Chain A
Amino acid sequence: GAVVSQHPSRVICKSGTSVKIECRSLDFQATTMFWYRQFPKQSLMLMATSNEGSKATYEQGVEKDKFLINHASLTLSTLTVTSAHPEDSSFYICSALSYEQYFGPGTRLTVT
């Protein structure tokens, strides 16, 4: 089956620094990838839709200048959390679209 990986699986960073999360489709190409955020014991909330070769589409209330998304190839999308703050601590999950959405294992971000 289709596999999506994320790196890193866990990251701890200091407040004010930036952190990059990678999402890769390992055995298929994905024109579209999605980035979700999940707070503890809550549902997945879509942050943005990432399309290869074009600008990402952000959901209402998501700051595009804070959450930078780059989808430079058909197998890689990156999410950079800039100037991270403790309230950005969350579980970030990507998915890649190929007939259905295949989800990555998630990245646990902790901002201290």
Chain B
Amino acid sequence: GENVEQHPSTLSVQEGDSAVIKCTYSDSASNYFPWYKQELGKGPQLIIDIRSNVGEKKDQRIAVTLNKTAKHFSLHITETQPEDSAVYFCAASIDFGNEKLTFGTGTRLTIIP
């Protein structure tokens, strides 16, 4: 089955700086890669996703890049703000998300004011 690894497990960034979180996956059949933000005691919220026919996607301060050959994808947050502090999870799925998600281990991001 699919295995998703995520690094780093914790990340502290000065407010205004950029944060990068990286994930690798094992199943070459995976073609949907979402990123979720989870705040304490809440369910995960989708912040951005990318499908395997695209190499990069951007939404305001958030961007995701995908390297299918190397089987890794990354989340980039620019101009970080205190409200970006949360746990971030990457995930992978086949069938463009219509199948189950396999989650990474999570990254606790702390933005230092």
Chain A contact residues, CB within 8 Å of chain B: 4, 6, 32, 34, 42-46, 49, 93, 95, 97, 99-106, 108
Contacts and interface: CB of A to CB of B under 8 A. Distances in A.
A104 B43 contact: yes
Nearest to A57: B100
B85 interface: no
24 contacts: A34-B101, A42-B105, A43-B103, A43-B104, A44-B44, A44-B103, A45-B103, A46-B102, A93-B43, A97-B98, A100-B34, A100-B49, A101-B34, A101-B97, A101-B101, A102-B46, A103-B43, A103-B44, A103-B45, A105-B42, A105-B43, A106-B41, A106-B42, A108-B41
How many B residues touch the partner, as a band? Answer: 10 to 19
Nearest to A10: B41
Contacts of B97: 97, 99-101
Interface in B69-113: 89, 97-98, 100-106
A43 B45 contact: no
B106 A43 contact: yes
Contact of B100 (A49, A100, A102): A49
A43 B105 contact: yes
Interface of B: 34, 36, 41-46, 49, 89, 97-98, 100-106
A105 B42 CA distance: 5
A93 B91 CA distance: 15
B43 A46 contact: no
A46 B89 CA distance: 14
A34 B103 CA distance: 13
A93 B44 contact: yes
Nearest to A32: B98
Nearest to B100: A46
Nearest to A48: B100
A106 to B, nearest CB: 5
